[in-house]
Amino acid sequence: MTVGANVKQCLATVKSIEAGLSTLASNSSDEEAKRLFHEQMMVMGEIKKDIMKRVGELEREEEQYKGF
């Protein structure tokens, strides 16, 4: 696997973490836990954005692996 593919896989994992945290945030009954899950979900969103940017750069470098 190329670096591009690895980074894309990592991006997918971050997305799944974000979704998991979102579910927990809406399902938890304790307010404090709800808030924390929501906050960390936002952090995941930031990380996701950064990695997506990097994926774009990598795609330009490795034309043949384009598409996601």
The residue ranges that bind another protein (CB under 8 A) are: 3, 6-7, 9-10, 13-14, 16-17, 20-21, 23-24, 26-30, 32-33, 36-37, 40, 43-44, 46-47, 50-51, 53-54, 57
Nearest residue to 25 (alpha-carbon basis) of 45, 46, 40: 40
Nearest residue to 51 (alpha-carbon basis) of 18, 24, 26, 27: 18
Q: Measured from the CB atom, is 49 or 67 closer to another protein? A: 49
Q: Measured from the CB atom, is 26 or 66 closer to another protein? A: 26
Q: Please give the Cα distance from 57 to 3 (Å, whole number).
A: 12
